[in-house]
Chains A and B, each alone.
Chain A
Amino acid sequence: MENEQSYQVINESPRSKKLTWLIHHFQREWRLYIMLAPTLIWFILFLYKPMYGLQIAFKDYSVFKGITDSPWIGLEHFYTLFENDQFIRAIKNTVIISGASLLFGFPVPIILALMFNEIINPKFKKTAQTIVYLPHFISAVIIAGIVITAFAPSTGVVNLLLNALGYDSVYFLTKPEWFRTIFVGTGIWQEAGFNSIVFLASIAGVNPSLYESAVVDGASRWQMMWKITLPCIMPTILIMLIIRIGNILEVGFEMIIMLYQPATYATSDVISTFIYRQGLQAAQYDLAAAAGLFNAVIAFVLVIAANTISKKVSRTSLW
């Protein structure tokens, strides 16, 4: 009897206590894990397994040997990449296109939000908003299709207008010097409206009593916009700016694939289109994976830096 009791006491060690608690927990909460498991498995299968496959960036990948059995070659692909003028050009183009989108595209949604805010007629405001949000939901293929149609040399509306003004037709999409302008302009046209939503929401959060006291002081609407609305949404503007800078390596490459052609590669070829051509079209998987890894690592560092900075600026994390 005594022996048995002491045996039980030994059995009630912290570890086994934890085990019984765990068994109990799973008996009670197993449904939660059933709900969670499919998605976790999905993430492992479709997003983490490819990360294992990233090792081909350091290997001489052969389709027959597979990812694991292909021989290691160290940093050779990276040396090749950085001796490749096309890759250097792609990095340059990515930064230029992204930077230009940021420089010209970033202020537009803010201005648009301020302007929407000053519209008094609610019906007009609603209609205008509905329309300017729309292009965001249209596919890159269609947007590119519209661009190609509108800039076509003999039938496109842009050249028809140029002709009407007495200028010669320009085959815009074969001219490297025009690519960035067209791409950045299209991006602004497509996204400015939708991106204004964030700023509108921020404006909606401005304390109304600020405007009330400004009215008492006889401020004009113009002054209120500059002295109240804009300063109040500054934190949002800053955060959005930091996010955009953090994502500077991201360009809408679906659109570029649609719009670019060998004649404009000098200005239009970006990192992701380079990877697409080298990897998926020319089947140089290992080299393209190395370019992708380089891109992903830099992007990761930038995003983490952006989050750290925005935490300091606003004391609110992005995630």
Chain B
Amino acid sequence: MSQIMNMNLYSRGDKAFVYINMFLVALFTISTLYPFIYVASLSMSMGEAVTSGQVVLTPVQITFAAYEKVIFDSAFWISYRNTFIYTIGGTLTSLAFIVPCAYALSRPQLLGRKYWNIMIAFTMWFNAGMIPFFLNMRDLGLLDSYLGIIIGFACNAFNIILLRNFFEAVPPSFEEAARMDGANDFQVLWKVFIPLAKPAIATVTLFCIVSRWNGFFWAMVLLRDESKVPLQVYLRQMITQLSDDDTFSSSLLEAAYSFETVSAAIMVCSIIPVLLIYPFVQKYFNKGIMLGGVKE
């Protein structure tokens, strides 16, 4: 098809169309990128230059004072460590729940399969909401604990259904061959289904990692102890300080760094891990998203 498209390029109108289109896409891409560049530039600029409004695109008077400030702030490192704990612990917990469950739900011999499916899917359409969920966490004694954050958000219907659909599409011959060798369900799942479902599992893993890494609302609500909060909550405290009182930054005018540059530096530090894993998982997007049908 692309060959035909290229042949067609010879018409003058089409050429103009293609170039204008490319230009517009480039424009959109640049406007997507710009805010990130802006923040990165802020983080590397002299505090004075930022507070006097000189930074628009590139860093002015490059300095890493803001990063130094961040690196020597123990609260930053504590929250960074916590985010890693929640992300890794949470994602592994989620997979430990979701993968076997999706496998069981995909087996036709499972009794009450229809009802279990409805029970899980129903939560996508109706949930009790913020307050009953919070009171339930409190009654379970999961406030202010690592365990509460890790367990309390382990499952969601969408991921289970996505994976179940993938398992259901595995041809029965794969399973039969393993059964002939005397494999039981645990072994069939581990040796046959999990290797086959790699793209689907990668997608689910990605969803888990991203939501864990980015999650802040429930961490903010459920955690009181400063030593347990994740990076996003710490970052929010920094940012709200910034927006609550704009004059604060000028009163704090120290030459090397300002509130703006420090919070920009923290934002950059929080984005970097996302950027690092992004290329590895990006190839699974298209597949993964279409697998589960339509998200939402």
Q: Which residues of A contact B (CB under 8 A)?
A: 25, 29, 31-36, 38-40, 42-43, 45-47, 49-51, 53-54, 56, 67, 112, 115-116, 118-121, 124, 127-128, 130-135, 137-142, 144-146, 148-150, 152-155, 157, 160-161, 163, 171, 173, 189, 193, 197-198, 200-201, 208, 211-212, 215, 220-222, 239-240, 243, 247, 254, 257-258, 261, 272, 275-276, 279-280, 285, 288-289, 292-293, 295-296, 299-300, 303-304, 318-319
CB neighbours of B119 from chain A (8 A): 40, 43
Asked whether, in the complex, the Cβ of B4 is within 8 Å of the Cβ of A221, the reply is no
Residue B180 interfacial (CB < 8 Å) = no
**What chain A residues lie within 8 Å of B289 (beta carbons)?**
197-198, 201
A155 x B236 contact (CB < 8 A): no
Q: Contact at B236–A275, with CB atoms within 8 Å?
A: no
A196: min CB distance to chain B, Å: 10
Among the stretches B24-32, B62-70, B170-178, B196-204, the one at the interface with A is B24-32
Report A176 CB to chain B, min CB distance, Å.
16
Given known A-B contacts A243-B294, A319-B293, A275 and B17 have beta carbons under 8 A apart: no
B185 touching A257 by the CB < 8 A rule? no
Instruction: With A130-B282, A140-B214, A148-B239 given, name 18 new contacts (CB 8 A).
Output: A33-B110, A35-B101, A50-B136, A53-B132, A119-B22, A138-B274, A141-B216, A141-B235, A154-B51, A157-B38, A201-B290, A212-B1, A215-B4, A240-B294, A257-B217, A279-B130, A280-B130, A288-B130
**Which chain B residues lie closer than 8 Å to A127 at the CB level?**
29
Complex A-B: 13 CB contacts under 8 Å: A38-B100, A119-B18, A120-B18, A128-B25, A146-B38, A148-B243, A149-B38, A149-B42, A173-B243, A211-B1, A211-B5, A221-B5, A258-B239
In chain A, what residue has the closest Cβ to B109? A29
Task: Flag if B127 contacts A221 (CB, 8 Å).
Answer: no
Q: Cβ of B239: which chain A residues have Cβ within 8 Å of it? A: 141, 144-145, 148, 258
Task: Say yes or no: A32 contacts B17, CB within 8 Å.
Answer: no
- Let me know if B210 and A142 touch, CB within 8 A: no
Query: Does B208 make an interface contact (CB < 8 A)?
Result: no
Docked complex: B73-106 residues within 8 A CB-CB of A: 96-98, 100-101, 103-105
List of A residues within 8 angstroms of B39 by Cβ? 145-146, 149
B160 contacts chain A at the CB level, 8 A cutoff = yes
Complex CA–CA separation, A130 to B13 (angstroms): 29
Residues in B with CB closer than 8 Å to A49 are 136
The answer to whether A51 and B35 touch across the interface, beta carbons within 8 angstroms, is: no
Please, which residues of chain B bring their CB within 8 A of the CB of A43? 119-120, 123, 155
Is B33 at the interface (CB under 8 A from chain A)?
A: yes
- The CA-CA distance from A137 to B208 in the complex, in Å, is 11
A220–B31 Cα distance when bound, in Å, is 29
Instruction: Indicate if the CB atoms of B294 and A198 lie closer than 8 Å.
Output: yes
> Complex: how many Å from CA A222 to CA B260?
46
Q: Is the CB–CB distance between B35 and A288 below 8 Å?
A: no
- Least Cβ–Cβ distance between B12 and chain A, in angstroms: 10
CB contacts (< 8 Å) of A128 on chain B: these are 25-26, 28-29
A138 to chain B, nearest CB (A): 6
Query: Which residues of B in the span 177-195 have a Cβ within 8 Å of any Cβ on A?
Result: 184-186, 189
Known contacts A40-B116, A46-B136; is A35 also within 8 Å of B21 by CB?
A: no
Is B141 an interface residue when CB atoms closer than 8 A count as contact? no
Contact B116 A36 (CB under 8 A): yes
Closest-by-CB residue of A relative to B266 is A145
Question: Does A254 contact B216, Cβ atoms closer than 8 Å?
Answer: yes
Does A221 lie within 8 Å of B14, measured CB to CB? yes
- Compute how far the CA of A34 lies from the CA of B96 in the bound complex, rounded to whole angstroms: 12
Query: Do B53 and A118 touch (CB < 8 A)?
Result: no
Specify which chain B residues have a CB less than 8 angstroms from the CB of A289 in the assembled complex: 129, 131-132
Instruction: Judge if B256 is at the interface, Cβ distance under 8 Å.
Output: no
Distance of A50 from chain B, by nearest CB (Å): 4
CA–CA, A126 and B281, complex, Å: 14
Q: Tell me the minimal C-beta distance from A135 to chain B in angstroms.
A: 6
B275 CB contacts on chain A under 8 angstroms: 134
Return chain B residues, CB-CB under 8 Å to A139: 213-216, 232, 270
For residue A1, give the distance in angstroms from its CB to the closest CB of chain B. 38
Complex interface: chain B residues within 8 A of A141 (CB)? 214, 216, 232, 235-236, 239
A243 and B267 contact, CB distance less than 8 A: no
Hey, which chain A residues are within 8 Å of B125, CB to CB? 299-300, 303-304
A152 vs B197: C-alpha distance in the bound complex, in angstroms? 47
Cβ–Cβ < 8 Å partners of A34 in chain B: 100
Whether B46 sits at the interface, judged by CB under 8 Å, is no
Residue of A nearest to B100 (CB): A35
A149→B260 contact, CB < 8 A = yes
Q: Are A279 and B134 in contact (CB under 8 A)?
A: yes
Contact at A120–B105, with CB atoms within 8 Å? no
Residues in B neighbouring A54, C-beta threshold 8 A: 128-129, 132
| Cβ-neighbour of B242 out of A42, A124, A148, A171 (below 8 A) | A148
User: Min CB distance, B1 to chain A, in Å?
Assistant: 4
Q: In the complex, what residues of A have CB within 8 A of residue B13's CB?
A: 220, 222
Q: Does B72 contact A (CB under 8 A)?
A: no
